[in-house]
Structure 1
């Protein structure tokens, strides 16, 4: 590992749109080197990301893609922040639990919990070396119970548990953060045909995440709305 590199490095999964994109832009603007991924090369082209951002197109559930992320972190020489942001709602239209089958469960579990778990393990040496932060984007569906949100909510509850257990086992600072409702494509997918323009943009959540990263309170689960929005 190149411990002489003093530029902070972040890896953010799902950085081609929504909260991942907003956080990627904000960290790059603050001088971080950001590595991010997404499944759509076209979305990255539309995003017009600033210098200091490395994009890798692929699916997080693919082992070769995760290896590509590891190689990029190795090339950067350090990892100060790992953000698990990429996720899926599962099959659309969203289903009540009695309609869920094993294929649905596998799809959601591989993306929302399996891939973050094994990616974290892969990148632990760099996180430990930098005394880095592990941050997983959660949901209020992880603790509340909404019709048709059961499969997604269960995966987020599992992600919370895995994230905070990594903190307990490794001593790393680990956070699971509920960002609240946002005006994103994923949220629109959950409410097809409905007007979600009253939801705040993901950019409004970013200052709260930046405050969390800089202030580094104790490991735990947080709501973005309860965090200071300034640093």
Structure 2
């Protein structure tokens, strides 16, 4: 039986690399991201369904849930870095922090709520992509890290509340992505892991279906 995955933030970086890996394993894919052009090119490459839009938009969340009446895997990968250059918490603009919470915490929870009936029916799984910034005290990363810490605790409680669904909160480690380059510069980002390598490890995790919990891939 063909399995279906919904991946957010799927037009580049880890989301696109994971989509390629799962497509190679025969998964049916529904992909979403804000950049319609890049997303549609990715979907065409992989034979996937593209549903462009912003995961903070409740109407877009409803469209995504409608697109996956049968669902085996939800990957909450879409994320925002926040203000750059990364400011100390003493100077973090509160309006920007609220927006960051909306993207990195509220939107994943909204998608979980919208797709849980389909996931329960299939004994499916949820991957919430987090970061070591959720647990480490890195200067400048307080805003982003706080949102990822919140996402980790949501995942932790969700795993306890939904024993029939696997829930993994996954720290992929540093990857050579545009987001990391925006944070630390392109030169430093270039020395980080290839997203394709990390996606392969994440695909192995999804196939193995271990117990719910926090997973570090590097």
Deviation track 1:132-152 (CA, whole Å, cap 9, x = no partner) reads: 011111101011011110010
How many residues are aligned here?
217
Q: Verify the 8 A CA contact 1:7 1:32 in the aligned structure 2.
A: yes
Matches within 5 A, 1:1-231: 6-47=1-42, 49-74=44-69, 78-171=70-163, 172-192=165-185, 194-225=187-218
Matched residue SS, 2:215? strand
* CA deviation after TM superposition for structure 1 residue 192, in Å: 3.3
* CA deviation after TM superposition for structure 1 residue 211, in Å: 1.4
TM-score normalised according to structure 2 size:
0.95
d(CA) in 2 for partners of 1:46 and 1:218?
35
Matched residue SS, 1:166? helix
Matched residue SS, 1:205? helix
Which sections of structure 2, spanning at least 5 residues, go unmatched? none
In structure 2, what is the equivalent of residue 228 of structure 1? none
Deviation track 1:164-215 (CA, whole Å, cap 9, x = no partner) reads: 2111101121101110110000000001364422112100101211111111
TM-score normalised according to structure 1 size:
0.90
151-160 or 51-60: bigger deviation: 51-60
Deviation track 1:3-39 (CA, whole Å, cap 9, x = no partner) reads: xxx3100001100000000001111111111111111
d(CA) in 2 for partners of 1:25 and 1:193?
24
* CA deviation after TM superposition for structure 1 residue 218, in Å: 1.3
Q: Verify the 8 A CA contact 1:9 1:81 in the aligned structure 2.
A: yes
Matched residue SS, 2:155? helix
More helix per residue: 1 or 2?
2
Which sections of structure 1, spanning at least 5 residues, go unmatched? 1-5, 226-231
Q: Verify the 8 A CA contact 2:43 2:50 in the aligned structure 1.
A: no
d(CA) in 2 for partners of 1:95 and 1:136?
25
d(CA) in 1 for partners of 2:186 and 2:169?
30
Q: 1:193 to 1:26 in 2, by over 3 A?
A: closer
Q: 1:212 to 1:80 in 2, by over 3 A?
A: same
